[in-house]
Amino acid sequence: MIRFFNTYSRALEEFAPRDPPNVSIYTCGPTVYSHAHIGNFRAYIFEDLLQRHLEARGFKVHRVMNITDVDDKTIRGARAAKVSLNDFTDPFKRGFFEDLETLRIKRADEYPGATEPRYLTRMIEMISELIKRDLAYQAEDKSVYFRIKKFPDYGKLAHLNLEELRPTGRVRNDEYEKENIGDFALWKAWDEADGDVGWDSPWGRGRPGWHIECSAMATSLLGDQIDIHCGGVDNIFPHHEAEIAQSEGVTGKKFVRYWMHCAHLLVDNQKMSKSLGNFYTLRDVTAKGYSGREVRYALLRVHYRVQLNFTFEGMEESRQALMRVDEWLQRLRETSSSTLPGKEPGPVPTDDFQSALDDDLNISGALGVLFEAIRETNRAMDANELGADGAKAWLQWWEEINQVLALEARESMASPPEIETLTEARRLARLANDWQKSDELRRELNARGWEVRDTKDGQKITRRVGIKP
Ligand code: AMP
Ligand code: ZN
């Protein structure tokens, strides 16, 4: 049984999609006014784990991730750079897709952009419908707002008391036109700061609010009811609360079955965010010599609902962990092609990795299963208790779990000529019992980024993960 923690009910619930084996997932994507930071990628890696695990369990996932290419920040950026909105956001969009690839995040099936005409049409349609149902109104400032007091479920996702949203006397001046301080904009009337960004609508020239963008793209591509909607916890309120109000206000149907939110990535115990200026982009981290899969591991290894503090010590731990995996795989490959039959069956693979993930994506449990397997099989190989067939079974097991983890080294194991020369020199030194020379050559190989292991079949060398030769 697969169980997920549903933010809506604040409880673990058995996962039952509307139309199995199909599963629809909507993810709030990046606002493309700068490069995404690794906090954002924690959210996308959690969603990637979710998709990959569901697929490993036989579900067919249809995932949509929107690209927010019009909002206050993108407009401000384009005006400051004196280029069109499109020219401004385009390089960040491209950078985002490159980063997804570096982190081995599966591509969504669709990446709708809020400014595409079909979605703008849908937004205008939805807003008109909300006005018709008295759930929205145009205020004196010409903007259109959602009337939260007419939607009794408003506040249920965030477990908010509507009384708390009453005006406090400290109302910002751009909000005094609204009937209620909690009413949020569906359509923002054009003002000077918008420059040449704007679209015509029944309410005059303007642009959509951020929340309606997601409701329109999600329902256009996935229908009125979707299985899973995800994001980071900062999306819960007001963004996702507003998405529910808008979508259900129009369709009258339950919008989302399971709301899943990941906790934040922190730096020095504060949320990593652009506004605090305490963020690293993926490029900042890879420039320090870490590979994409090391960053992936570092962001993946902690349960998604637990806050994760980003440190470079954590990056080193990730490098070490992956090195253990690489060495283990190399050893298994050697064993699988040896002719030595195992004297005993040795440890055998189980389904425990997948079962751990069934439990609300318990990744720490799943990685615990992997590292326990590494310990056990290494011990069995040390004792010559794992034969070629046993090693093959473990490699097969790894293939399966790597479909979910996507952590295997892609670097070629072939070594360049100077490394071959050093390895050969070390072999000769060892034949001559010159242990001092052998140690010197090992240090030389280490310094060039290679690990050496002496086995009964001679030296085995592996590239140290993340270090460029
Ligand atoms: P944004 O571009 O700010 O709309 O954020 C894109 C996604 O990243 C959203 O799902 C956010 O909830 C998520 N996010 C933003 N900051 C963090 C963080 N520090 N840790 C984890 N997720 C985050
Ligand atoms: Zn959204």
211 and 164 in a common domain: yes
What is the rounded average pLDDT of the residues 15-29? 97
Is residue 282 in a domain? no
* Ligand 1 and 272: CB distance under 6 A: yes
Do 378 and 456 have their domain in common? Answer: no
What does the block give as tokens for 391? 């090693």
pLDDT at 467: 47
Do residues 319 and 442 both lie within one domain? no
Would you say residue 161 lies in a domain? Answer: yes
> Is residue 294 domain-resident?
no
* pLDDT of 143: 96
pLDDT band for 457, please (50, 70, 90 cuts).
Answer: low
Give the residue among 269, 260, 288 at the shortest CA–CA distance from 43: 260
Mean pLDDT for the stretch of residues 95-121: 96
Residues 27, 112: Cα–Cα separation, whole Å: 11
User: Between 9 and 177, where is the model more confident?
Assistant: 9
β-pairing verdict for 270-271 and 256-262: unpaired
**CB 327 near ligand 1, within 6 Å:** no
Ligand nearest to the CA of 246: 2
Residue 108, both tokens: 């969504």
Q: Say yes or no: 97 and 25 in one domain.
A: yes
Same domain assignment for residues 400 and 430: no
Our answer on whether the CB atom of 265 is closer than 6 Å to any ligand 1 atom is: yes
More confident residue, 107 or 342: 107
Nearest CA among 225, 221, 261, 224 for reference residue 240: 261
CATH number at residue 344: 1.20.120.640
Residues linked to residue 452 through DSSP beta bridges, in sequence order: 461
Query: Which of 262, 293, 321 is at the close of a domain?
Result: 262
According to the model, what pLDDT value does residue 428 have?
Answer: 87
Does the pLDDT of residue 412 top 70, yes or no?
A: no
Distance CA(173)–CA(205), nearest Å, equals 21
Evaluate if residue 465 carries a pLDDT over 70: no
What secondary structure does DSSP assign to 368-419, as a single string?
HHHHHHHHHHHHHHHTT---HHHHHHHHHHHHHHHHHH-----S--PPPHHH
User: Do 370 and 421 belong to one domain?
Assistant: no
Name the band, by pLDDT with cuts 50, 70 and 90, for residue 414. Answer: low
CB 145 within 8 A of CB 178: yes
Secondary structure (3-state) at 107: coil
- Are 132 and 119 in contact by the 8 Å Cβ rule? The answer is no
Exposed e or buried b per residue across 288-303, where buried means at least 16 C-beta atoms within 10 angstroms of its C-beta? eebbbbbbbbbbbbbb
Distance, in Å, from the CA atom of 130 to the CA atom of 146, rounded to the nearest integer, reads 8
Residue nearest to atom 7 of ligand 1 (CA): 40
Query: Is the residue at 430 inside a domain?
Result: yes
pLDDT at residue 454 in the model: 82
- Choosing from 374, 405, 436, the residue where a domain stops is 405
Q: Is the CB of 218 under 6 A from ligand 1?
A: no
Determine, yes or no, domain membership for 278: no
Q: Hey, which of 33, 40, 261 would you mutate to test ligand 1's pocket, going by the most ligand atoms within 8 Å of its Cβ?
A: 40
283 belongs to a structural domain: no
Nearest ligand, measured from the Cα of 240: 2
Picking from 244, 262, 280, the residue at the C-terminal end of a domain is 262
Q: Radius of gyration (Cα) for the chain, nearest Å?
A: 27
State the pLDDT at residue 26: 98
Is 24 a pocket residue for ligand 1 (Cβ < 6 Å)? no
Contacts of 44 (CB under 8 A, 6+ apart): 27, 65, 100, 103, 105
**Long-range CB contact pairs, 265-270, < 8 A, 24+:** 265/38, 265/39, 265/42, 265/299, 265/307, 265/308, 265/309, 265/310, 266/307, 266/308, 266/309, 266/310, 267/309, 267/310, 268/309, 269/309
Q: Are residues 332 and 223 both part of a single domain?
A: no
* Ligand in nearest proximity to the CA of 244: 2
Q: Candidates 38, 42, 105, 234: which one to mutate for ligand 1, based on the most atoms within 8 Å of Cβ?
A: 234
**CB-based contact 107:155 (threshold 8 Å):** no
pLDDT tens across 140-183, in order? 999 999 999 999 999 999 998 777 665 554 444 455 678 888 99
Q: Is residue 148 part of a domain?
A: yes
Residue 359 neighbours by CB under 8 Å, 6+ apart? 3, 365
**Residue whose structure tokens are 């030296």:** 459
Do both 424 and 400 map to the same domain? no
Residue 101: partners with Cβ closer than 8 Å, 6 or more residues away: 292
- Same domain? 140 vs 54: yes
Distance between CA atoms of 60 and 48, rounded to whole angstroms? 14
Scan for tokens 């401000």, then name that residue.
76
* pLDDT, tens digit (0-9, with 9 covering 90-100), for 30-46: 999 999 999 999 999 99
Query: Of 205, 325, 188, 234, which Cα lies nearest the Cα of 39?
Result: 234
Phi first, then psi, for residue 299 (nearest 5°) are -85, -15
Tell me, in angstroms, the distance from the centre of ligand 2 to residue 181's CA.
Answer: 21
pLDDT tens sequence across 361-382:
999 999 999 999 999 999 999 9
Mean pLDDT of the chain: 92
First to last CA, the chain: 46
The pLDDT value recorded for residue 322 is: 97
What is the distance in A from the centroid of ligand 2 to the CA of 27? 7
Cβ(43) – ligand 1 distance below 6 Å:
yes
What is the per-residue pLDDT for 421? 86
Nearest to 35 by CA among 377, 279, 256: 279
- Per the structure, the complete domain to which residue 397 belongs is given by 310-405
Ligand 1 atom index nearest CA of 36: 2
Ligand nearest the Cα of residue 273 is 1
Ligand 1 in reach of 336 Cβ (< 6 A): no
Q: What's the domain count of the chain?
A: 3
Are 161 and 223 members of one domain?
yes
Q: Please give the DSSP secondary-structure letter assigned to residue 275.
A: T
Q: Judge if the beta carbon of residue 32 lies within 6 A of ligand 1.
A: no
Q: How many of the other CB atoms lie within 10 Å of CB of 459? A: 17
For residues 35 and 145, membership in a common domain is answered with yes
Same domain for 36 and 64?
Answer: yes
Long-range contacts of 101-105 (CB under 8 A, 24+ apart): 101/292, 102/282, 102/286, 102/292, 102/295, 103/41, 103/44, 103/45, 103/282, 103/292, 103/295, 103/296, 103/299, 104/48, 104/292, 104/293, 104/296, 104/406, 105/41, 105/44, 105/45, 105/48
Q: What is the pLDDT of residues 322-352, one digit of tens each?
A: 999 999 999 999 999 887 666 677 889 999 9
Decide whether any atom of ligand 1 lies within 6 Å of the 264 Cβ.
yes
pLDDT single digits (tens) 48-77: 999 999 999 999 999 999 999 988 899 999
Supply the pLDDT for residue 469: 34
The reply to whether ligand 1 has any atom less than 6 angstroms from the CB of 386 is no
Picking from 166, 162, 183, 163, the residue whose alpha carbon sits closest to that of residue 174 is: 183
- Which residues, at least 6 apart from 19, have a Cβ–Cβ distance to it below 8 Å? none
Q: Which ligand is closest in space to the CA of residue 213?
A: 2
What lies within 8 Å, CB to CB, of 119 at 6+ separation is 112, 113, 213, 216, 217, 220
pLDDT tens-digit profile of 224-239? 999 999 999 999 999 9
**Whose alpha carbon is nearest atom 15 of ligand 1?**
40
- Asked if residue 62 belongs to a domain, the reply is yes
| Nearest Cα residue to atom 21 of ligand 1 | 264
Q: How many CA atoms lie within 13 A of 53 on its CB side?
A: 24
pLDDT at position 410 is: 78
Amino acid 346: pLDDT: 83
The tens digit of pLDDT for each residue in 246-273 reads 999 999 999 999 999 999 999 988 999 9
Residue ranges in 133-281 assigned as alpha helix (H): 210-222, 241-251
